[in-house]
Structure 1
Amino acid sequence: MATIGEKRTLTLGLGFLCLVYVLLFLKPSDKHLWLTKHLANNTVFQVSSTELENLLVTCRSLPILNTTASRTNEQAGPRPSPLKDPLPLPSQSGCFPYLSGLYVQPVPEHDCDQPYVTVNQAGRLGNKMCQYASLYLLRHLFGVRVSTLDEMHATLDKFFKNIVMPIKNPSCFMGKAKSISYMDLYDKLYRAAAQAWTNTTSSVIKEPLLDTSYHVYDYPGPRDLFLEHRKLTHTLFKFRDEVMKNAVQNINNALMSFNATYHQRDFPIVTVHVRRTDYEGHMKMLFNLTQLGKLYYTNAFEFYKKRLKRPLFLVVSDDPKWCRENLQAKDVLVIASEVPAEDMAAMSLGDHHITSYGTFSFMGALLGKGNITHPLTTNPRYRFVRCVDSPVFHRVPRGDKQEY
């Protein structure tokens, strides 16, 4: 009978073999997530005995692969078609293609000789979150060095406890960056990645894709990419404990009349965002759209009532008075909060979501789970969600002429 020491040695040995299996045969995207965790900040690669034992458990659930066949299939797998010049530009299509199955080895953040990318930090919370996430996606997808500016970091750090993207400093982010739009930079990186992929038999690109530093001057917020990478976005924004605690308390206060709490209930919560005070002029000037009215929210309520059993709608808004006068009902409650970050945290706790226009509304719903409704708008000047093709994203009629 094997001793405890022999069993442990055998377990660790099998765990190590499983580690080799993970590194060699997992999909590049899955392998990237695992490696990113253990190679963060370019530290020495270390795996504890506990993690090797956990790997053994994982390994038992993985399918057995034929090594020779796997390598052959990887080399003979789908390849990108030869590049046609010009490829469709994101700025022309308005959409953001990416090469699935491709892994670009990240440039070390401390390699100060390599180019970098920064992004505009203007706007309020929703804008800054979109810009931060957009910047992170460039590193995630294309491996480029990125850094935030001071104001963006300071604003986000107030509400989230994991804002870890480097802050631009002159010692390691040197030289003046060229100004560029997010779409044009994305297109440049996409083309470079596609070209590098056609020149290699591997699914890993090791050479850097940038030769110049860039500053993104506009307000990026690619909804289609965000939804495609929703789980990743969840990892970027973890609310500080005090913000989340207050958000849960705000929800509990609203649920008192139902003799329920957020954690003790037998019905789904659909969060509803209503933005009004400063948006009427903004929407009219930029998109020739009017405010969303009662009809849109009524349509969205009905959308969920047909699909859920006894949903409760919790409304957050910069105009709670209008909401109480126009929306409140036995299954529609308005959360009384004066802190925007707490409203967004409350939205992230919902099982499903009804959004209005704007980045704040979208990001709050994105950080949650479940389905998202958005006003149906075919107005050609409003293009933010035109490329979204997700099973969780639903366009609900506004109920007025402005949807055309």
Structure 2
Amino acid sequence: MMRSRRGVCGGRGCVLVLVVCAGGILLVLPSCYQFFLHTLAQLHQLMSILQHPSVCQYPSFFYNETEIKGINSSVVSAGRCLPQPRYLPLPQDNQQDRSLPYITINRGGRIGNEICQYMSLAVLRKMFGVRASIHGEMEKYIGQFFHRLTLPVQDSHRSHNYTIKLHYDDIYKTLVTRVNNNGPPPDAPYPYPINQSIYIYNNPCPPDVLLPFRGQFRQEFTFREDIVDKARKHIDEAIRMQSHLADKNLTKITVHVRRKDYIKFLKERFNLEPVEKSYFERAFDFFRQRVPEPVFLVTSDEPRWCRENLIQPDVIHVGSNDSVVDLALLTLGDHHVITYGTYGFVGAFLGRGTIVYPESENSWPFFRCINSTIYQPIPRD
């Protein structure tokens, strides 16, 4: 988070600009008032540079448990939210030291699940400096769509050389506790945080933990150019067919509607029915009131339902028959509307802007611990 404060210095009408990054003053810029307007553009550029993750090393998204503003306060008080580090230790990268224990992760599900698993594992490396590696099958699958993945593939002769299986939440909580108990980052590196190799057996996707690294993951999960070209072509052609949208500077809102296989899962797991058109109407109105010239680009595993229910002049159905192209399409939005499942979440997370999701008081807990305006709940019922 960046803040600036103006004041009078030396009684000469100067401007004092304090640039703050996550609570700490990074720069003090005095400037004579008469030149302030001329330097506004340069200051804006400087602010953009300072907001880059490489400069703002302590994102404001990290907060204490007592500061969590979840959907359901009882969930927070029951300790079901993952704890947050009070600071980032910025540990050294131990990836090249093959003598150290490592963490690897289960691969399961389809592309949305596997990207979530990859990102969840990568966060442990980024935050705590542990060695991390993925199975060859995961790299073989998602690596065919992305060309900037950084996690190494696990050595085949060590693929089962771990000593303990743990749930992601358990290893994450343990690592956070050790960091918080060690105090602020010292001059010397922290001791290596694990003493045995670990296999994470579940399929994690914690949106609150992933959020501070959204920009980094957007760079890492860069689709192949041919996939992006196909996605852009679908969008451009769909918009071009709508003459009333021609020559407008549109704000693109991608919309993912998950139904089919998730209908039964929602009912059995959370006693929920799929969201109906009223949720989408509220989500669309949310953006209509906030952004100029919105257009809603809809993809779904059940396009017929969408074409029968989401019928408005600014709603366009753009899905293809290729799930990977559609995922790339979702990432191209300026903002996003999602329903359920990791596929829609990943598409929005790897995009830009705000992510609107369905809120229900005692139900789907995916966003239960979020404390960010990037994730915006909209009543589903």
Deviation at residue 378 of structure 1 after TM alignment: 1.7
Q: Deviations over 1:284-317 (max 9, x none)?
A: 1221111111111111111111112221111011
The 5 A counterparts of 1:2-401 are: 92-107=79-94, 109-171=95-157, 175-197=161-183, 201-202=186-187, 205-258=189-242, 265-380=248-363, 382-399=364-381
1:202-237: per-residue Cα shift (whole Å, max 9, x none)? 3x6342111011111111111001222211221220
Q: Which runs of 5+ in 2 are unaligned?
A: 1-20, 25-44, 51-63, 65-75
Q: Which has the larger displacement, 166-175 or 266-275?
A: 166-175
Secondary structure, counterpart of 2:357 in structure 1: strand
| Bigger-Rg structure (1/2) | 1
| Count, aligned residues | 315
Runs (4+) off by over 6 Å: none
Q: Which letter does structure 2 place at the counterpart of 1:397?
A: P
Give the percent of matched residue pairs that are identical in Structure 1 and Structure 2: 33
> For each residue in 1:61-109, what CA deviation from the matched residue of structure 2 results, as whole angstroms up to 9, or x when unmatched?
99xxxxxxxxxxxxxxxxx9xxxxxxxx9993322412324221121x2
Counterparts of 2:291 and 2:161, CA distance in 1 = 55
Distance change (3 Å), C-alpha of 1:91 and 1:169: farther
In structure 1, the partner of 2:54 is: none
- Deviation per CA, 1:341-362, whole angstroms, max 9, x where unpaired? 1111111111111011111111
TM-score, with length taken from structure 2: 0.76
Amino acid at match of 2:218: H
Query: CA separation in 2, counterparts of 1:180 and 1:319?
Result: 36
TM-score (norm 1): 0.72
Change (3 A) 1:230 1:210: same
**Cα pair 2:164 2:199 within 8 Å, conserved:** yes
Q: Aligned in 2, Cα 1:152/1:101: closer, same or farther, shift over 3 Å?
A: closer
Counterpart CA distance in 2 for 1:281 and 1:201 is: 51
Change (3 A) 1:159 1:166: same
* Residue type at the aligned position of 1:183: D
Q: Distance in 2 between matches of 1:101 and 1:182?
A: 19
Which has the larger strand fraction? 2
Instruction: Write out per-residue CA displacement over residues 237-287 of structure 1, whole angstroms, 9 at most, x where no aligned residue.
Output: 00011110100011012111235999x751211111001111111111221
Tell me which protein shows more helix as a share of its residues: 1
2:167 partner letter: S
Letter in 2 for 1:216: I
Letter in 2 for 1:102: P
